[in-house]
Structure 1
Amino acid sequence: MHPLVILVVGIVTIIGLIVVFRVHAFVALISSAFVVGLLATTLPASETGPATMRLGNAVSTVAIEFGNATGKFGIVIALASIIGTCMMESGAADRIVRALLRCLGERRAPAALTASGYILAIPVFFDTVFYLLVPLARSLYQRTQRRYLLSIMAIAAGGAITHTLVPPTPGPLVIAAQLQVDLGVMILMGILVAVPAAAVGLLFSAWVDRRMPVPMREVPGLKVMESLPEERLPPLLLSLLPILLPVLLISANTAVEAGMKQSTSNVQLEYIQPVFQLLGDPNFALFLAMIIAVAIYRKQKRATREQTLGMVETSLLSAGVIILITAAGGAFGAMLKAAQIGPAIEAHFAQLGGGGLAYLFLGFGISMVLKIAQGSSTVAMITTASMLGAMLTSPTSLGCHPVYLALAIGSGSLVGSWMNDSGFWIFAKMGGLTEVETLRSWTPLLAVLGCTGMIVTLILATLFPLVSIPS
């Protein structure tokens, strides 16, 4: 069977199971991986063996690739989940938000909320960040009686953009791995692209708020987190440390490795490179950050050993589902690669006259279509990266560093959020908005974020292709 036909069958399997049969994303991705493996004739003993042998071979290959993907992503996602929970429970997240509000003042409170969402969504899942910050938006409205919609849209603008562009959140983490992009490069470029996108999102939120004023309504079941006095919160620098430390260590390792490849005779870099290689390993960097976050949690909460273990267990339960989905996506990507999907896409795209930066539009468009079809940004990113990662795209064929393709895919996964997206309902229910109000605020906001991210990515890829930077 032609590889592109296998690709279509695989994607239809995912979308059909999720949208039509309401199957969990993990089951849909694994099922699609089995289907692709069964149809592929490039796996060992697949071309001539009977169907049962082909299926058995596909199942064993999927299991192996699932384990490989878990090894790549599992520890990082689990540690990031613990860090995020510790920051929420210890008051570290609250300290960061209060510092930003104090720094920018009440007049610029929406900008402070955007910055808070931007920072906190790097280690913390978006829904948790939104849950933390919505009470602040409600408190601001009670004092000013205006700009409620702007406040909650500002939170969404900051949180959504880093959630889809900056590791260690699952989507960008998987994209970086599938496209063989160094994690440090992905973090730095994701942060860089997310800044102007969040700023444009904030301006758009203000524009929508002026044309569609929405009053604050009561939200049944919404629990407001206890507001701790200042003296019970950890210091600001200590609160930021679990976020900044892994970013700095991973980025430093990336810089040292780039220096080593460009200068083979640098004795000083050769001496310190093993140290940075250890400290900058994503698993170890997140492990150090997790130790610090847990220490802050225990100190601030005066938590017992049993309470700490309970907190860690709760964090790992939420991380487990994400690990399963990302690992299933990794297995699906490996099966696409084994089915020779990449060369088929590349050859077909070349026949149509596509190449260079056009690959960025391809990644953006595929991710956007998958987002609209099945609702999940993470699944859209994983599936798109699996398809295009199978091409083993090099900077030579792209005309730029593969990180730009990763950012284009992440940006595309924001466009087209509507009622099949869990984020849509989190924004609507926690914000106290109707479905129509959400469609007129949340949906266009995410489209603006995604399109702005794509535009910034294209500009950077054109001006600074970074072809010489190792991926």
Structure 2
Amino acid sequence: MTSLSVETLAADAVEPITSAGNAQLGIAVLAGIAVIVLLITKFKLHAFLALTIGSLALGAFAGAPLADTIKSFSTGLGNTVAGVGVLIALGAILGKLLADSGGADQIVDTILAKAGKRSMPWAMVLIASVIGLPLFFEVGIVLLIPVVLMVAKRGNYSLMRIGIPALAGLSVMHGLIPPHPGPLVAIDAVGANLGVTLALGLVVAIPTVIIAGPVFSRYAARWVDIPAPEHMIPTRPSEDLEKRPGFGVTVATVLLPVVLMLVKALVDIVVDDPANGLQKVTDVIGSPLIALLAAVMVALFTLGRAAGFTKERLSSTVEKSLAPIAGVLLIVGAGGGFKQTLIDIGVGQMILDFSKDWSIPALLLAWLIAVAIRLATGSATVATISAAGLVAPLAAGMSTTETALLVLAIGAGSLFFSHVNDAGFWLVKEYFGMSVGQTVKTWSVMETIISVVGIVFVLLLSLVL
């Protein structure tokens, strides 16, 4: 595992925009985060505005000139949106095509038709993990929870026994696997290799989702034994379609970008020659932009046209998929601005100064920082983006594998103990018809298990790779 080389990092450090000492910087960070939390929770301000104001407050408390703070925030926002904005848009289009064409329903129906009572929790975690690859967490919940409720009612299953595995599958994908926004931003911030991160993310995700999903659901079902709320079981989204795309082609379309990125990672490892023709080709087709763009173009035919969509309806579907992500783009961008402000005032070096005598592994330190921000802000994405900015200096001198594990450590920390300041907490509570206490005992505990098990497997991988 990489040790912290402060001397090496100091040589590469960018001159901070303030001369504040470590104590003042520490207070500034706490104050900036407190402003964000207060604005989001107390005043119900949109996260984009809260992050913007929090970034300005951070610079002010650190004694940085206002003009420099604004420049740092704007630079971070622009770089973040430029880096992941197109990918978020392509992911949204793919997710919308998957939902509207009935492809998601086809995956669900096919697997459930082959799953028995004992294997149903495993079927649900598989469904959620596959469908969760191209979808935002909130979109995944909206898409899958009605299915969970219908399965629980139709098969007389315990709601938690079916629901927890589905939630675990979505959450693990959201926190650990690109092309989700959080992991993508973290990869960019610490300079990690996307393909390697994706491959190692899958290695960590599989045992994590098993433990937090089917295994934990046994206990969650005993703690909270409630029926599926009748009023939350809606009409299936694709019942108005005359036909739906096939199961095999739908799964192949969803997995296409993942396969292309994994191929790139494999060729990079095996060939390791930038001048090699094969590596040049895979570097292009395995880049996240081209991989997702290819999946979207394929999906227009394999999902949209297979469902009988006209050219006009395909155009309408694509257009409708982009409107809801405006808020996501702004939040992610503002999070990148907050991250850049943290970097430019010198917080990264402050953390190195504090941590060099702690004997804490870099991966564990990254996890702890992400946990703290997650608990404070309630947002896994904000926690990932902010923590990535704070620990980016730790990546200097790390190998490709270690840098990828650093991203996964941050992602695992960003999922720790979702509670009342997390929109996902209330979404799950309302869909499942639970009380706050019941939601804590099931959803919040599940998120904590994912976070802890995730960092354990990340640390284990760091010892053997």
- Partner of 2:230, secondary structure, is coil
Q: Residue by residue, what CA displacement relative to the aligned partner does 1:413-466 show, whole Å, maximum 9, x if unpaired?
A: 2222112211111111112222222122111111111111111111111122xx
Q: Give the equivalent residue in structure 1 for 2:7.
A: none
Shift of 1:276: 1.4
Relative to structure 1, the CA distance from residue 293 to residue 421 in structure 2 (aligned partners, 3 Å threshold; closer, same or farther) is same
Comparing 229-238 and 412-421, the one that deviates more: 229-238
Cα pair 2:369 2:413 within 8 Å, conserved: yes
Q: Residue by residue, what CA displacement relative to the aligned partner does 1:59-114 show, whole Å, maximum 9, x if unpaired?
A: 23432332222111011110000000100111211222223223433431111011
- Partner of 2:277, secondary structure, is helix
CA–CA distance in structure 1, aligned partners of residues 77 and 206 of structure 2: 34
Counterpart of 1:315, as a letter, is S
Counterpart of 2:418, as a letter, is S
Shift of 1:39: 6.0
1:86 to 97, 100, 104: 97
Q: Give the equivalent residue in structure 1 for 2:34.
A: 12
CA–CA distance in structure 1, aligned partners of residues 456 and 56 of structure 2: 37
2:136 to 116, 120, 125: 125
2:160 is the counterpart of 1:149:
yes
Cα pair 1:113 1:133 within 8 Å, conserved: no
1:217 to 222, 229, 243: 229
CA–CA distance in structure 1, aligned partners of residues 176 and 291 of structure 2: 19
Relative to structure 1, the CA distance from residue 207 to residue 123 in structure 2 (aligned partners, 3 Å threshold; closer, same or farther) is same
- Partner of 1:286, secondary structure, is helix
Q: Percent identity at matched positions?
A: 29
Structural RMSD (CA): 2.5
TM-score (norm 1): 0.87
Q: Give the equivalent residue in structure 1 for 2:461.
A: 460
Q: Give the equivalent residue in structure 2 for 1:287.
A: 293
2:248 is the counterpart of 1:237:
yes
- Partner of 1:150, secondary structure, is helix
Q: Residue by residue, what CA displacement relative to the aligned partner does 1:290-329 show, whole Å, maximum 9, x if unpaired?
A: 1112223431342233322222122111222212122222
1:359 to 357, 362, 376: 362
Q: Give the equivalent residue in structure 1 for 2:109.
A: 98
Alignment of 1:51-62 (within 5 A): 54-62=65-73
- Partner of 2:135, secondary structure, is coil
Q: Residue by residue, what CA displacement relative to the aligned partner does 1:116-153 show, whole Å, maximum 9, x if unpaired?
A: 11111110122322233333333333344332221111
Counterpart of 1:328, as a letter, is A
Relative to structure 1, the CA distance from residue 39 to residue 121 in structure 2 (aligned partners, 3 Å threshold; closer, same or farther) is same
Structure 1 gap ranges (5+): 47-53, 465-471
Cα pair 1:170 1:322 within 8 Å, conserved: no
Q: Give the equivalent residue in structure 2 for 1:445.
A: 446
2:171 is the counterpart of 1:166:
no
CA–CA distance in structure 2, aligned partners of residues 84 and 144 of structure 1: 27
Alignment of 1:370-385 (within 5 A): 370-385=373-388
- Partner of 1:401, secondary structure, is helix
Alignment of 1:284-363 (within 5 A): 284-351=290-357, 353-355=358-360, 358-363=361-366
CA–CA distance in structure 2, aligned partners of residues 421 and 457 of structure 1: 25
CA–CA distance in structure 1, aligned partners of residues 345 and 71 of structure 2: 15
Cα pair 2:102 2:241 within 8 Å, conserved: no
2:46 to 2, 8, 24: 24
CA–CA distance in structure 2, aligned partners of residues 342 and 57 of structure 1: 17
Q: Give the equivalent residue in structure 2 for 1:192.
A: 203
CA–CA distance in structure 2, aligned partners of residues 145 and 105 of structure 1: 12
Counterpart of 2:260, as a letter, is L
Shift of 1:405: 1.9
Counterpart of 2:408, as a letter, is L
Relative to structure 1, the CA distance from residue 144 to residue 258 in structure 2 (aligned partners, 3 Å threshold; closer, same or farther) is closer
Cα pair 1:78 1:320 within 8 Å, conserved: no
Counterpart of 2:86, as a letter, is I
Q: Give the equivalent residue in structure 2 for 1:469.
A: none
CA–CA distance in structure 2, aligned partners of residues 135 and 69 of structure 1: 33
Cα pair 1:336 1:390 within 8 Å, conserved: no
Cα pair 1:100 1:116 within 8 Å, conserved: yes
Counterpart of 1:151, as a letter, is I
CA–CA distance in structure 2, aligned partners of residues 390 and 331 of structure 1: 17
CA–CA distance in structure 2, aligned partners of residues 423 and 370 of structure 1: 16
CA–CA distance in structure 1, aligned partners of residues 282 and 69 of structure 2: 39
Counterpart of 1:209, as a letter, is A
2:400 is the counterpart of 1:394:
no
Comparing 439-448 and 383-392, the one that deviates more: 383-392
1:204 to 204, 216, 236: 216
TM-score (norm 2): 0.88
Q: Residue by residue, what CA displacement relative to the aligned partner does 1:373-428 show, whole Å, maximum 9, x if unpaired?
A: 221111111111111114444327xx960222221221122222112211111111
CA–CA distance in structure 2, aligned partners of residues 208 and 36 of structure 1: 40
Cα pair 1:25 1:379 within 8 Å, conserved: no
CA–CA distance in structure 1, aligned partners of residues 79 and 450 of structure 2: 33
